[in-house]
Amino acid sequence: AGVLRRTGEVVSVENLRKRYIPREGDFVVGVVTQRSSEVYKVDIRAPSAAYLPTMAFNAATRKNRPALEVGSLVYARVQSAHPDLDTELSCIDPETKKAWTTGEVLLGELRGGLSFEVPLSAAQRLLDAECFVLDRLGQDFAYELCVGGNGRIWLLAPGARETVLLLQVIKRSFGMTDAQIEVMIQKMVEIFT
């Protein structure tokens, strides 16, 4: 089951499956469900929980490592995924030498904001570099967004009103054309200002 898409002569069906199957290299937004001295158990909307070692952060040491609480959101990369074993996550960003304590590293704890879930096909569209709705929203609003390949999204905007507006636009945009999205955003900008 899915949504039928037509692009020129190409016809495809977008899968609307709800369960995420982890793949090595995917970026995911997870929720810490359990903590111990060496590892965090993280819900990534997969058949089984993933684990995130406490040392799997940039420049983490035994004395200087993050202390995530149950319920904390993390943006992480799938380090290893095997159907018969638990998925391993990592918040080590090989692109930077900065430590996790600076708050300038892409991967790690997501503070503030709110999280919500969308179908996996919708998350894939948001991850596209040419995503019209995110580009268009960026013209009128300042916001931060982390989209996980697992369908969980984290959104941070300056105020509650903007956060709700952005959330509604993102959720309603699935299945709309670019022209329809443009009209919807223009109407919401008029209401907001």
At 103-152, the pLDDT tens digits run 667 788 898 899 999 988 888 889 988 889 999 999 988 999 999 999 99
Is the pLDDT score of 43 beyond 60?
A: yes
Q: What is the mean pLDDT of residues 90-98?
A: 80
pLDDT computed for residue 33 by the predictor: 94
pLDDT digits (tens, 9 = 90+) for 150-162: 999 999 999 988 8
Q: Are strands 27-35 and 39-43 parallel, antiparallel or unpaired?
A: antiparallel
pTM score, whole prediction: 0.83
- State the chain's mean pLDDT as an integer: 86
Asked if residue 77 lies in contact with residue 57, where contact means CB atoms within 8 angstroms, the answer is no
pLDDT tens digits for range 169-189: 999 888 888 899 999 989 888
- Residue 8 exposure: Cα atoms within 13 Å on the Cβ side: 1
What's the half-sphere exposure (Cβ side, CA atoms, 13 Å) at 138? 8
Residue 65: is its pLDDT beyond 90? no
Least confident among 50-54, 174-178, 189-193: 189-193
